[in-house]
Amino acid sequence: MLQILASRGDLVLLRDSVEWEGRSLLKALIREVALKGEQVQVLGCEVSEEVFREGLDSDTNSRLVYHDIFRDPQGWTGNWGPLGILRACLRGAEPGPCTLAVDSLSWLLLHAPCSALCQTLRALGHDNSHPGRVRVLGLLHEDVHGPGPLGALRSLAQIEVTVGGNLGFTTAQVFHPKPRHRSIEQTYWFSILPNFSLEFHKEPLLEPRPHRGPQSPTVDAMADLTFNVHLSKKEREARDTLALPFHFSSEKQQSLLHPALASSTSQIFYEPDADDYLDQEDPDDDLDI
- Has residue 126 got a pLDDT over 70? no
Q: Tell me the three state secondary structure of residue 189.
A: strand
85 φψ region: left (φ > 0), alpha (ψ -120 to 50), beta (else): alpha
Q: What is the pLDDT at residue 279? A: 64
Q: What is the pLDDT at residue 100? A: 93
Give the pTM. 0.67
pLDDT tens digits along 204-227: 765 544 555 555 566 676 677 777
- Has residue 38 got a pLDDT over 80? yes
Q: What is the pLDDT at residue 234? A: 86
Highest-pLDDT range among 6-10, 75-79, 269-273: 269-273
Q: What is the pLDDT at residue 9? A: 54
Task: Give mean pLDDT, residues 57-76.
Answer: 83
pLDDT tens digits along 219-248: 676 677 777 777 788 888 888 887 776 666
CA distance to 19, 48, 135, 140, 148, per residue, from 172 (Å): 14, 26, 19, 14, 23
Confidence at 66, pLDDT banded by 50, 70, 90: very high
DSSP secondary structure of 32-86: HHHHTT-EEEEEE-SS-HHHHHTTS-HHHHHHEEEEE-SS-HHHHHHHT-HHHHH
d(CA 28, CA 200): 13
- Has residue 154 got a pLDDT over 60? yes
- Has residue 132 got a pLDDT over 70? no
Q: What is the pLDDT at residue 165? A: 86
Q: What is the pLDDT at residue 283? A: 60
- Has residue 169 got a pLDDT over 70? yes
Q: 160, 140, 137, 153: which is closest to 38 by C-alpha? A: 137
Q: What is the pLDDT at residue 97? A: 83
- The domains found in the chain, sorted by start residue, are 2-201 (3.40.50.300), 234-265 (no CATH)
